[in-house]
């Protein structure tokens, strides 16, 4: 009997649960086609950033006010973006071209953190043919005067604003750094998020000792990072009215299987595609299918969430008691 690998995510039918996450691998039509040929079930385009949209508005403004200067932030930001995506017009063209060339769902990503006119571009994503939108809210609350309640409201308002502009589903990619993650997830779903993409991975700055400078430092993930999303997906499965996508640390078929058992509707890949190229998807999908056949699972839908917190025999394993158990069970093997 063949295994049914299809999975529903954001109301879309995916041919299998493997999705290409936003990264440079999804930034050109050629590599998008390679990803589809290799077996991915959907693609998330690299983000279009709030700062790029503001830059456009500022640039138009500057033409009218000859001689005025861009802010140092905008000047510093924009040159770095030029090799990643080249602004709204080319981004909208990429959405359209991807839609014409691919049969798998195309999900553009909008990345920002402040309420404002930049969110209007979501409508143009939809008009360009997007099947859904991923809204990445990438915000670090550094102001000591800013409260948790204000930060949470910012997220909820942004989700409500973008969702109200479009009729396609909106998935929200957030960080795990909330005091009450489960409540936040429910509020995001209540504000209109059809899906949650767990989790955003903050790029942590580093200090360069020779140069005495602070520099961004992006390292690719390893499978060790998987368990943050694993825990929260298992906890949220069945508790929030939203699809769940896992991102962060999925490299092997085993990684993907664990996330599906926890309750993910799809597993997104960035680092493993950057390291191994699109062909890696084929090995992953066949690894998932092989394991499922051996275990006599007939479909991904049947398997999804079968070890979520609600379904597993030891729900406390996802909570605090697991912490005590982990500490007391340490044997020193890895020293
Ligand atoms: C080089 C690079 C560029 C990325 N660009 C984006 C982006 O534009 N928008 C976004 O939401 N995430 C972006 N990400 C994050 C990935 O989509 C993904 O969530 C993260 O890398 C964790 O998954 P991984 O462990 O498979 O790499 C990027 C990641 C990398 C490594």
pLDDT in tens, 96-115: 999 999 999 999 999 999 88
Query: What pLDDT is recorded for position 303?
Result: 97
Whether 111 lines ligand 1, by a CB cut-off of 6 Å, is yes
CA-49 nearest atom, ligand 1: 8
CA–centroid distance, 205 to ligand 1, in Å, is 16
Q: Choose between 87 and 293: higher pLDDT.
A: 293
Mean of the per-residue pLDDT values of the chain: 89
Question: For atom 3 of ligand 1, which residue has the closest CA?
Answer: 23
* Residue 174: CB atoms within 10 Å: 23
CA-200 nearest atom, ligand 1: 19
Whether 267 lines ligand 1, by a CB cut-off of 6 Å, is no
Question: For atom 1 of ligand 1, which residue has the closest CA?
Answer: 23
Cα separation of 87 and 70, whole Å? 16
Question: For atom 21 of ligand 1, which residue has the closest CA?
Answer: 270
Query: What pLDDT is recorded for position 270?
Result: 97
pLDDT digits (tens, 9 = 90+) for 125-180: 999 999 999 999 988 899 999 999 999 999 999 999 999 999 999 999 999 999 99
Whether 85 lines ligand 1, by a CB cut-off of 6 Å, is no
Instruction: Kindly state the tokens that stand for 270.
Output: 């960035």
Query: What pLDDT is recorded for position 71?
Result: 40
Return the best residue to mutate from 19, 20, 23, 46 for the ligand 1 pocket (most ligand atoms within 8 A of CB). Answer: 23
Contact (Cβ atoms closer than 8 angstroms) between residue 1 and residue 298: yes
CA–centroid distance, 23 to ligand 1, in Å, is 5
Query: What pLDDT is recorded for position 1?
Result: 67
CA–centroid distance, 29 to ligand 1, in Å, is 18
Query: What pLDDT is recorded for position 76?
Result: 41
The DSSP secondary structure of 183-251, one letter per residue, reads: HHHHHHHHTT-SEEEE---PPPEEEETTTTEEEE------GGGHHHHHHHHHHHTTTSSSEEEEESS--
Query: What pLDDT is recorded for position 321?
Result: 65
Whether 27 lines ligand 1, by a CB cut-off of 6 Å, is no
Whether 246 lines ligand 1, by a CB cut-off of 6 Å, is no
Q: How far, in Å, are 79, 170, 310 from residue 200 at the CA level?
A: 24, 16, 24
- Is residue 85 pLDDT above 60, yes or no? yes
Q: How far, in Å, are 85, 233, 259, 281 from residue 92 at the CA level?
A: 11, 32, 32, 26
CA–centroid distance, 202 to ligand 1, in Å, is 9
How is residue 291 annotated by DSSP?
Answer: H
- Is residue 59 pLDDT above 70, yes or no? no
> Would you place residue 330 in the very low, low, confident or very high pLDDT band (cuts 50, 70, 90)?
confident
Mean pLDDT for 226-253 is 97
CA–centroid distance, 174 to ligand 1, in Å, is 12
Query: What pLDDT is recorded for position 66?
Result: 36
Mean pLDDT for 307-317 is 89
pLDDT digits (tens, 9 = 90+) for 166-223: 999 999 999 999 999 999 999 999 999 999 999 998 888 899 999 999 998 888 999 9
Q: Which of 162, 170, 214 minimizes the C-alpha distance to 193? A: 170
Whether 23 lines ligand 1, by a CB cut-off of 6 Å, is yes
Cα separation of 252 and 263, whole Å? 17
Which position has the token pair 């014409």?
100
> Would you place residue 65 in the very low, low, confident or very high pLDDT band (cuts 50, 70, 90)?
very low
pLDDT digits (tens, 9 = 90+) for 252-282: 999 999 999 999 999 999 999 999 999 999 9
Query: What pLDDT is recorded for position 8?
Result: 98
Query: What pLDDT is recorded for position 53?
Result: 87
Which position has the token pair 């697991």?
322
What is the topology classification, in CATH, of domain 7-308? TIM Barrel (3.20.20)
């Amino acid at each position: 009997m063949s295994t049914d690998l299809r999975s529903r995510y954001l109301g879309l039918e995916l041919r299998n649960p493997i999705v290409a996450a936003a990264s440079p691998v999804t930034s050109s039509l050629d590599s998008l086609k390679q990803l589809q040929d290799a077996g991915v079930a959907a693609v998330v385009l690299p983000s279009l950033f709030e700062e790029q949209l503001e830059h456009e508005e500022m640039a138009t403004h500057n033409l009218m006010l000859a001689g005025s200067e861009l802010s140092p932030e905008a000047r510093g930001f924009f040159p770095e973006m030029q090799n990643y995506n080249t602004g709204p017009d080319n981004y909208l063209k990429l959405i359209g071209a991807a839609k014409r060339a691919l049969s798998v769902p195309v999900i553009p990503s909008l990345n920002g953190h402040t309420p404002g006119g930049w969110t209007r571009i979501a409508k143009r994503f939809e008009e360009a043919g997007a099947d859904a939108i991923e809204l990445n809210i990438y915000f670090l609350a550094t102001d000591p005067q800013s409260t948790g309640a204000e930060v949470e409201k910012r997220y909820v308002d942004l989700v409500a604003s973008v969702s109200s502009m479009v009729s396609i589903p909106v998935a929200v990619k957030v960080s795990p750094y909330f005091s009450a993650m489960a409540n936040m997830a429910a509020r995001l779903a209540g504000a209109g998020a059809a899906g949650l993409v767990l989790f955003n991975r903050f790029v942590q700055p580093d200090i360069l000792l020779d140069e005495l400078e602070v520099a961004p430092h992006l390292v690719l993930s390893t499978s060790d990072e998987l368990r943050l999303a694993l825990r929260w997906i298992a906890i949220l499965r069945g508790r929030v009215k939203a699809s769940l996508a896992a991102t962060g640390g999925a490299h092997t078929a085993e990684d993907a299987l664990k996330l599906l058992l926890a309750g993910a509707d799809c597993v997104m890949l960035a680092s493993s595609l950057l390291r191994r190229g699109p062909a890696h998807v084929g090995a992953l999908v066949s690894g998932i299918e092989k394991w499922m056949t051996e275990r006599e699972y007939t479909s991904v839908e049947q398997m999804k969430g079968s070890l979520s917190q609600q379904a597993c025999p030891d729900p406390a394993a996802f909570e605090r008691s697991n912490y005590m158990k982990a500490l007391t069970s340490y044997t020193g093997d890895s020293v």
